[in-house]
Amino acid sequence: MELSLSCWNFGASPVSVVGDGYCYPYPMELFVKKKIKKLCYAQFEVFDQSGNLLLQIDGGVWNLRMKRIMRDPSGFPILTLRGKIITLWHKWKAYEGDTTDEDNIVFSVQQSHPFQIKKELHVFLENCKKKVPDFLVIGSYTSLSFKVFKGHRLLAEVKHNFTLESFYKGKEKYRVKIYPEVDYAFIVALLVVLDENDTP
């Protein structure tokens, strides 16, 4: 996945969901490493091209809680992700900080349809119940690779670098291309939600 000058969208309005501090005026390439540490615990780490740690996400996997917390490199909580498994729609909510107070909802995510023909998630800002989503996440069932759109505007592309060896070792990797003025913490949060939905 290469970042070429043709990908630059100069003058694009910022797409800030988690915070303005996660938007940059140039394209970024991030590397996300997932490691399953034990049966009900997995960790994601997000690095830039220089190897600097930008974000870390930890929490339960394969359990009823479906809770993950996104933190900055110092461990300060940025977002709490909570999912519902007792539903065909695979609904998730993201809350500011380490709370799950309904007043602190940043965005919500659900499948476009309980029985999808293609992989598609609808993302709504805050806890909106409108019919038209603010963002679309579109991918395929053959991999965890996907693209994020706001209307017709492409915001990010995620490629899952899957190998059988990494899968059996409990280690997986993603490459994430973030377009200019797009909140990379928001994109990483969507990656975690999609990964959780696809976890057996």
pLDDT > 70: percent of the chain: 74
163-186: average pLDDT: 80
How is domain 24-198 classified at the CATH fold level? Porin (2.40.160)
pLDDT in tens, 118-141: 678 899 997 666 778 999 999 865
What pLDDT does residue 5 have?
42
- Going through 60-178 in order, the beta strands assigned E by DSSP cover 67-71, 77-83, 92-96, 105-111, 119-125, 135-139, 146-150, 153-161, 171-178
User: If pLDDT is split at 50, 70 and 90, which confidence band does 200 have?
Assistant: very low
Q: How far apart are CA 185 and CA 195, in angstroms?
A: 15
Q: What is the mean pLDDT of the chain?
A: 82
Domain locations in the chain? 24-198
Q: Point out the least confidently predicted range of 52-61, 114-123, 177-186.
A: 114-123
List Cβ neighbours of 124 (8 Å cut-off, separation of 6 or more): 107, 108, 109, 130, 133, 134
What pLDDT does residue 8 have?
53
Q: Which H or E run contains 198?
A: helix 184-198
pTM of the model: 0.85
What tokens appear for 20 in the block?
Answer: 């303005």
